[in-house]
Chains A and B, each alone.
Chain A
Amino acid sequence: MSETAAPGGVVQKPRRTLTRAVIRFAGDSGDGMQVTGEQFTTEAAWAGNDISTLPNFPAEIRAPAGTLFGVSSFQLQFGSQRVHTPGDQLDALVAMNPAALKVHQSDLKPGGILIVNTAAFDQRNLDKAGYAKNPLEDPGLGEKYRLYQVDISGMTKKALEDLALNAKEKERCKNFFALGLVSWIYTRPLDPTLDAIKKRFAKNPLFVEANTRVLKAGHAFGETAEMFAEHYGVEAAEMPPGLYRSMTGNRALAWGLLAAAERTQIPIVFGAYPITPASSILEELAMHKRFRVRTFQAEDEIAAATSVIGAAFGGAIGITASSGPGIALKGEAIGLAVTAELPIVIFDIQRGGPSTGLPTKTEQADLMQALYGRNSESPVVVIAPCTPGDCFYIAYEAVRIAIKYMVPVMVLSDGYLANGSEPWLIPDVKTLPDIPVKFRTEPEGFFPYLRDPATLARPWVRPGTPGLEHRIGGIEKQDVTGNISYDPENHDHMVKTRAEKVRRVAQEIPPTSINGPATGDVLVVGWGGTYGAITAAVEEAQLEGKAVASVHLRHLNPLPPDLGQILRQYRRVLVPEINSGQLVRVLRAEYLVDAVGYNRVSGMPLASQDILEAINQLVEAKQ
């Protein structure tokens, strides 16, 4: 990475090398903190760091300025070693106003960098944040943290003095001053941001000029202002070689579907109703019509689910996406897909609940809903991605399993994976497994519920095929013929058959990979978006010499065939989850193992330090 040459006469400041850093940008909803964080992420990615991000914003679109509940933030951890999580405690916090300081200060490490925009610390904002007196006047703040009081707004205005922009437009550039400053502190390259500014404001050269100036002004301020004595470097991480891009979970889900559509050569019908945090999948897919994706913004969640069932009946890939509340509404429709034995995929981007709950925050409490949240015996395949980039593979795999077994497949992502991003090694799509699609066309011997002996899948028939006209529906049907049947023996047989079909998906599950020793004191079992936090905690425990391993489940129904055996190789089993103990119950019921949970349901990702503590407690509980 090239250092920007210091302006004439300025002494080059010393640079210290770090292995990782955790930074949070925090400000008002309208302060552009998400853009700032995303841009810094791109800069760190260019510098070759491994990265994990955590955008965190209020459900209100434009919450009243200056309020505590209107604070929006973007956190990331970047490092020269593998980075598993966005980090627990902050090395640096940028607080654009008093509310941001108040909300986030406690997460900053003692001695950490604290940059505040002094211009925003006026009486009005102090009142709104509930400060009786200006915290910047409290000498304790500067003693506890490395406090940098910077008039970000003022210097932004100054840099733009001669530009024909109004005061509001000038004020809106201030986030790039902060970005320029932090980019200097951590010596991340400005080039990607300069490029992004050009692209973003291509139609308005004045905005390009303004943002470029402010960004550079922030950078130059770090370089020249006496208050900054040193800055930091973080070397490139050792990552598998290849071409990388930044990937968020929701985009990865959408692109995984596109890959599946291209491979199968059948269209996708994606039916969804807008809901946080799933809406961006619909928006992303709507941009890719040339992949033969037909997006349908349905009138409600039920129509979203039933429309894709109609599409699957017609021989297309039917996908719907929602979050917990919407999945609840789709329940009856999913049951129809179970009994009609049609291949649909349901994405559940979990968020805090119950009811409306915490729409923009993450949670893992829909596992039971995915497994059991429908009337009667209604088994579906349930799988879960473990990182934002993994969402690409999980979406592709969901389509493959749904078609092969003619079953609904539910994918449990979450708000953290959906919006979080990571550097993602771009795969060679040719290496993805094949998704064979065979529509039945042969009328001879046809029945709608004939079964493939290996998968128990029934034939997929496209309407329009002569001689195969048939009727299916939600009423119980006789196996093979598909005729309506109320026969008790047949119903029992069909219930078992539908369950067995899902059970046979276990054939698709590769041997479980164990992170750590094959036997030991504690096995940590996780699923979904907690992968990073668990891995970081387990690796830390291993460094401390403890006999601890972890497995992370991508398949939740059916469970991996080798899991029972693995669980028995450890003295204790710990299951950290962002719910009140859902997987742990499944494991206890399924394997009669005395697994215990670590559960914290705060709307935020689990902290790896907390998981480490839970591991240590179990290890120490040993005689």
Chain B
Amino acid sequence: MSTVTGVPGAAQGGAPKYTKKDFESDQDVRWCPGCGDYAILSAMQKTMPDLGIPREDIVFISGIGCSSRFPYYMNTYGFHTIHGRAPAVATGLKLARPELKVFVVTGDGDGLSIGGNHLLHVLRRNVDVTVLLFNNRIYGLTKGQYSPTSELGKVTKSTPMGSADRPVSPCSFALGAGATFVARTVDRNIAHMEETLKRAAQHKGAAFVEILQNCNVYNDLAWNVLYDRESKVLHELKVQHGKPLVFGPVDDRRGLVLDGVKPKVVKVKDVPESALWVHDETDRATALVLAHLWAPDYPIPLGVLAANAGETTYEEILIQQEQKSISERGPGDIAKLLVSGETWKIG
């Protein structure tokens, strides 16, 4: 893997052979029965062996909330920190140890409300971390208040007459912040999750994955538009780089076309194939258009919306500066520094 340099296992001739079990910790998992987090945990553990990274070089960092318990259940290094600050903790860790593979696990409240500032900055700096945002559109651990992704008018314990604030779109936010990798997946599609998580983990730079996740206690079926079989067929759009954006039932395929910068839904059979919008994940402008699409007027895109490979990371630049400084002026020498500049002798 190109993202991780100086991995001991890799240096010693190839990746260690792991199975999913190697990434399961000995801790009892404490999420509610039926929580979507179980599926995400399982998909993550299953993906880990494919990354080919020694287990000891992997760190999961989280903030506060249901999602943030995640590190306790991964048999890697882990740090469950404070509310919203995981991206900043991860940034500091990467500055100290750029060679580690670092994941940040957060939720819609942790990542977009109390920690919105840090999420913005970890993405725009392009720190080499993989951010997994579990979006269940509700505050679970504090027992059911609305979140920054809850729909306008959401009735919750803290908004008995409906919420007055409009929701933020996590993928649009991430793109706006300058993330070099942005994807969306859903907890009830294990195969898609695994594929998406793997690609995100392999991306060099700040990777952002929104995982649509079910809170069966406080916000059950919030993503029913993608769970319900009939609705899913109508609305789920799996984007693939270089392929036309098509969705819908087999006998009535729909596609997206771009009319200038405006997306339009058409019947595939009504247009020539060349007219269809072909997904280009390296194009951030169209990725932003994609990120905005939502049912019922449009399909809901899943998969890698944007991926810009090969961008320099924040820590790479800093380490380069450090090395340049050392190679030009030699390593620091405190005794020399102390006598540099104006000095005078007494006695």
Query: Chain A residues in contact with chain B, CB under 8 A?
Result: 42, 45-46, 48, 192, 236, 239-246, 255, 258-259, 261-262, 267, 269, 271, 288-292, 294, 296, 298-300, 302-304, 306-316, 318, 332-333, 335-336, 340, 426-429, 462-475, 483-484
Contact = CB atoms under 8 A, between A and B. Distances in A.
A240 B117 CA distance: 52
A290 B341 CA distance: 18
B332 A318 contact: no
B344 A292 contact: no
A299 B118 CA distance: 7
Contacts of A474: 64, 80-82
Contacts of B27: 471, 483-484
Given A240-B347, A290-B332, A429-B334, A463 B97 contact: yes
A48 B93 CA distance: 47
Nearest to A425: B346
Nearest to A392: B338
Interface in B82-128: 82, 85, 87-97, 99-100, 117-118, 120-121
B346 A242 contact: yes
Interface residues of B, number: 61
B88 A303 contact: yes
Given A258-B337, A299-B88, A299-B117, 7 more contacts: A262-B332, A269-B96, A290-B325, A306-B89, A310-B90, A310-B94, A426-B339
A441 B25 CA distance: 20
Nearest to B9: A466
24 contacts: A42-B342, A192-B342, A236-B346, A240-B347, A243-B345, A244-B345, A258-B332, A267-B96, A289-B325, A291-B332, A298-B121, A303-B91, A306-B85, A306-B88, A307-B88, A308-B92, A310-B61, A310-B88, A315-B96, A318-B96, A426-B339, A463-B77, A468-B56, A471-B77
Interface stretch (B68-76, B191-199, B294-302): B68-76
Nearest to B343: A245
Contacts of A427: 338
A299 B72 CA distance: 28
Contact of B25 (A42, A291, A306, A471): A471
A336 B82 contact: yes
B4 to A, nearest CB: 11
Contacts of B326: 289-290
Contacts of A303: 85, 87-88, 91, 117-118, 121
Contacts of A308: 92
B78 interface: yes
B88 A314 contact: no
Contacts of B117: 299-300, 303
B330 interface: yes
B112 to A, nearest CB: 15
Contact of A484 (B72, B74, B100, B331): B72
B329 interface: yes
B345 A307 contact: no
Given A309-B89, A471-B80, A475-B80, A245 B96 contact: no
Given A310-B92, A429-B334, A469-B56, A243 B343 contact: yes
Given A468-B56, A484-B72, A310 B96 contact: yes
B77 A469 contact: yes
A328 B57 CA distance: 34
Contacts of A314: 92-93, 96-97, 100
Nearest to B75: A469
B79 interface: yes
B318 interface: yes
A95 B77 CA distance: 62
B78 A472 contact: yes
A336 B81 contact: yes
Contacts of A42: 342
A336 B61 CA distance: 13
A245 B341 contact: yes
Contacts of B90: 310
A306 B56 contact: no
A474 B96 CA distance: 21
B59 interface: yes
Nearest to A470: B77
Interface in B185-237: none
Contacts of A310: 61, 79, 88-96
B96 A316 contact: yes
Contacts of A271: 92
Interface in B167-183: none
- 9 closest A-B pairs (Cβ-Cβ)? A241-B347, A473-B80, A307-B92, A291-B332, A310-B92, A316-B96, A471-B78, A314-B96, A303-B88
B334 to A, nearest CB: 5
Contacts of B140: none
B254 interface: no
B174 to A, nearest CB: 16
Nearest to A336: B82
Contacts of A312: 96
B329 to A, nearest CB: 6
Nearest to B118: A303
B76 to A, nearest CB: 5
A313 B89 contact: yes
Contacts of A484: 27, 72
B154 interface: no
B78 A294 contact: no
B55 interface: yes
A236 B333 CA distance: 31
A470 B75 CA distance: 7
Nearest to A45: B344
Contacts of A241: 346-347
B335 interface: yes
B101 to A, nearest CB: 10
B34 interface: no
A337 to B, nearest CB: 10
Interface in B142-177: none
B93 A426 contact: no
Contacts of A464: 8, 56-57, 97, 99-100
A311 B344 contact: no
B56 A467 contact: yes
User: Which of B74, B94, B95, B120 is the most central at the interface, judged by chain A CB atoms within 10 Å of its CB?
Assistant: B95
A335 B81 CA distance: 10
Nearest to B25: A471
User: Which of A244, A255, A299, A465 is the most central at the interface, judged by chain B CB atoms within 10 Å of its CB?
Assistant: A299
B82 A332 contact: yes
A314 B95 CA distance: 9
Nearest to A196: B342
Contacts of A336: 81-82
B36 interface: no
B303 to A, nearest CB: 30
B82 A294 contact: no
Nearest to A237: B346
A307 B89 contact: yes
B71 A471 contact: yes
Contacts of B85: 302-303, 306, 333
B75 to A, nearest CB: 6
A466 B54 contact: yes
B321 to A, nearest CB: 6
A244 B346 contact: yes
B322 interface: yes
Nearest to B77: A463
A251 B334 CA distance: 13
B80 A426 contact: no
Contacts of A306: 81-82, 85, 88-89, 92, 118
B92 A242 contact: no
Nearest to B333: A262
Nearest to A335: B82
A292 B77 contact: no
A403 B78 CA distance: 21
Contacts of A471: 25, 27, 71-72, 74, 77-80
B191 to A, nearest CB: 28
B346 A294 contact: no
Contact of B57 (A262, A302, A429, A463): A463
